[in-house]
Structure 1
């Protein structure tokens, strides 16, 4: 009986090792190549209906021509996210279905 239990643990470890890590923190560069400052940047897993917190946080603004590192560490195991950018003039750009697991950078343009 003891052997069966240990064998079961070994099999479980092998199965668990075959899945990608869950809830990873993902970082990528946001490049503001538009003519307007970015005031808010929201994300949500594409399979959810509500936007998360503003990723710019206390930094508040990403000026035109600048770039910053965005970090998504919301505990989700999803790779496909929707992005919402709110510019200084109140205009919004919504970009659906962005694969953050393969994303090195995202450029905002006019």
Structure 2
């Protein structure tokens, strides 16, 4: 009887695992904050959109060294997206036409000499 329960639990776990994979959008990516400062807001909108969508962080803050996984619905087909980050002091940085169908990770860094936030794309 014990082996039947274990096999049944394994089958259910496998079903959820495959279901999660099937639901993942090809635009899913991770943002890693290596700027040295907290990020208060992150906005991601389709490149042809004239307005920013909702803050993907919600009420959270992405501290330096932390990462945030952004997931899209399976039905989403758009690959080109813009992203805006806002630091806790109100300063911001924007990237346009990010091809999220080819990006799995963005590592954000701030250069104190130039005052520019850059994104290393993986």
TM score, norm. by length of structure 2:
0.64
Q: Answer with 1 or 2: which has the greater Rg.
A: 1
SS at match of 2:44: strand
Structure 1: unaligned runs, 5 residues or longer = 1-23
1:40 matched to 2:73? The reply is no
Alignment partner, residue 56 of structure 2: 55
Higher RCO, 1 or 2 (CA under 8 Å, sep at least 6)? 1
Aligned residues: 86
Structure 2: unaligned runs, 5 residues or longer = 1-24, 111-122
Which consecutive segments of 4 or more residues in structure 1 shift more than 6 A? Answer: none
TM score, norm. by length of structure 1:
0.70
Alignment partner, residue 9 of structure 2: none
1:90 matched to 2:105? The reply is no
Alignment partner, residue 79 of structure 1: 79
Counterpart CA distance in 2 for 1:47 and 1:36 is: 30
Equivalent pair of 1:55/1:71 in contact (CA under 8 Å): no
1:71 Cα deviation after fit? 2.0
Equivalent pair of 1:44/1:82 in contact (CA under 8 Å): yes
Counterpart CA distance in 2 for 1:32 and 1:98 is: 17
1:25 Cα deviation after fit? 6.1
